[in-house]
């Protein structure tokens, strides 16, 4: 009886720490202001030594700037790519240290996942990251305080053409163009998570960029998109 009650207590506390913490995500950023015809493209899970430079080449060719939500341990192995992201006018934002779900991290591990990435990106780019996206979109109750301490804002997305299941490149481009709206934040992946994701992204990207610009959208970073919001 005591054990059952204890188990129930532990489960309830874990539930509040994980699932309960998601009750606060609606007050996070899911889109920018709809006042201008601006959209932010965001690239998660890199830097990847092979794919990220190719995405950067393409963005450079099209004169488009974007936000990269970087995984700390990958950034540590690809310092040059992180410097290039910043040098070419893109935003280097945080996607935590490893790609582990915050449902599996206690308060101390949560603080360290935020702090280590914050310090590394600051050291590599000379600028403190101001935006954060949690791996898998999953949060816990300790995350909010940690982000406040490091001056990072929680950013999700309003358009995600590919999640856990592979989606063909043409369909991804079409999906984004059909749903494009002023202030949209588009979630893309420039490293392997879903197998083959960066390759599909790279073939979808030209049509996506051209289509959005033909529709009159200016592509920008999350930082610039949110610049006027409190």
CB-wise, 9 or 163, nearer to Zn ion? Answer: 163
* Shortest reach from residue 214's CB to Zn ion, in Å: 29
Q: And the tokens for 61?
A: 């060719």
CB-wise, 119 or 192, nearer to Zn ion? Answer: 192
Name the catalytic one among 44, 45, 48, 190.
44
Return the number of other C-beta atoms located less than 10 Å from residue 127's C-beta. 12
Q: Active-site residue 99, yes or no? A: no
Residue nearest to Zn ion (CB): 44
State the residues that interact with Zn ion by CB under 5 A: 44-45, 135
- Could you tell me which residues come within 8 angstroms of residue 199 by beta carbon, excluding any fewer than 6 positions away? 51
* Shortest reach from residue 95's CB to Zn ion, in Å: 6
- Cβ atoms of 56 and 80 closer than 8 Å: no
* Shortest reach from residue 4's CB to Zn ion, in Å: 37
How many DSSP H helices and E strands does the chain contain?
9, 7
CB-wise, 45 or 190, nearer to Zn ion? Answer: 45
Q: And the tokens for 214?
A: 């033909």
Q: Which residues are catalytic?
A: 44, 189
């Amino acid at each position: 009886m005591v054990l059952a009650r204890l188990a129930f207590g532990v489960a309830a506390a874990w539930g509040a720490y994980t699932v309960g913490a998601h009750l606060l995500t609606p007050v996070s950023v899911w889109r920018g202001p709809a006042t201008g015809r601006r959209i932010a493209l965001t690239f998660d899970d890199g830097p990847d030594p092979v794919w990220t430079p190719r995405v950067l080449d393409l963005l450079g060719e099209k004169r488009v700037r974007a936000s990269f939500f970087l995984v700390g341990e990958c950034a540590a192995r690809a310092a040059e790519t992180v410097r290039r992201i910043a040098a070419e006018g893109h935003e280097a934002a945080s996607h935590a240290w490893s790609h582990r779900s915050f449902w599996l991290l206690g308060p101390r591990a949560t603080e360290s996942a935020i702090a280590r990435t914050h310090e590394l990106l600051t050291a590599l780019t000379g600028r403190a990251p101001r935006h954060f996206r949690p791996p898998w979109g999953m949060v816990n109750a300790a995350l909010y305080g940690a982000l406040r301490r490091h001056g990072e804002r929680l950013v999700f997305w309003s358009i995600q053409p590919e999640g856990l299941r592979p989606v063909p490149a043409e369909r991804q481009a079409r999906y984004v163009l059909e749903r494009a709206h002023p202030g949209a934040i588009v979630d893309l992946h420039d490293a392997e998570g879903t197998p083959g994701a960066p390759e599909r992204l790279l073939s979808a990207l030209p049509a996506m960029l051209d289509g959005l610009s033909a529709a009159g959208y200016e592509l920008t970073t999350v930082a610039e998109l949110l610049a006027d919001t409190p």
